[in-house]
A = this chain, B = another copy of it.
Amino acid sequence: MEEIKIFCPATIANISCGFDVLGVALDSVGDEMVIRKVPRKGIYITKLVGQDLPLETERNVAGVAALALMAESDYEGGFEIEIYKKIKAGSGIGSSAASSAGAVWGINQLLMKPFPTSKLVEFAMEGERLASGVAHADNVAPALFGGFTLVRSYEPLDIIPINSPSKLYATVIHPQIEVKTSDSRKILKTNITLKDGIKQWGNVGGLVAGLFTEDYDLIGRSLIDHIVEPIRSILIPGFDDVKSKSLEAGALGCGISGSGPSIFAFSKGEDIAQKVALAMSNIYKNIEIDYDVHVSKFNTKGIKILK
């Protein structure tokens, strides 16, 4: 195989209670990439459509992730990468992760899979480091593994795939305001109360249990964030309304996607997820903020070959 065209899913990180550890891949929202072998050693971003992002390898998240892989490979050739961005940068649904994960997954395919998926996560994390200053794994892990994933530990890196209930749907709305991941990390406090910590790990346990037992009510009850949401939601106009109207429309739970400004809701079944999309959209229509809204199943396979 000399060339590969792939779909790189958008991802929701944190998932309310699971700050920095939980993430999930969407099925119908994502970028496309074409990666091809070239004789000349190196990584070349030859095309970038849909977003205004740097083409230089060292300044592009896909480039940096690919270089991290190449540093551990003895392959003598190189790769050209074309990126067709459909996920907006800074939207909070893993735009940089899709590019980073796509680059290393595609190259690994073309090299006949020398690296396990867990190793690809490490390479892709270098793209995340470039994007946000922190090599977090909660978006790249679900992009690469598919479904829900838990980053149990960063040192050593330990990614745990979690079951994805089949009737669970996501609604994600992206109000078009800018919130940089690096800024939204800065406003977090370095200390939390033990009391809030206990609530948070109770909910993480509940969410993981709910995902394995496919207990939709339990999933909903566990989608509570006592630590990050109260602080970060201040940066997102309309957040409280979006959340309350989503729950009224039947969502199991609702929270900030990654570091925002996108807001996600989980629902049981597509019908409810569509109603939630309508309820969310009405809020931003009323306050005259442009938005994109998506309804999607969860992607359980991760990055997919398109041809």
Contacts and interface: CB of A to CB of B under 8 A. Distances in A.
A19 interface: yes
Nearest to A204: B201
A295 B252 CA distance: 42
Interface residues of A, number: 40
Given A193-B191, A218-B160, A17 B153 contact: no
Nearest to A21: B202
A53 interface: no
A150 B202 contact: yes
Interface stretch (A69-77, A96-104, A206-214, A261-269): A206-214
A221 B153 contact: yes
Nearest to A206: B152
A152 B208 contact: no
A305 interface: no
B205 A150 contact: yes
Contacts of A208: 204-205, 208-209, 212
Interface of A: 17-22, 150-153, 158, 160, 162, 188-195, 197-209, 212-213, 218, 221-222, 227
Given A152-B205, A152-B221, 18 more contacts: A17-B201, A22-B205, A152-B206, A152-B218, A152-B222, A160-B206, A160-B218, A162-B205, A190-B194, A192-B193, A197-B197, A200-B201, A204-B204, A205-B205, A205-B207, A208-B208, A209-B212, A212-B213
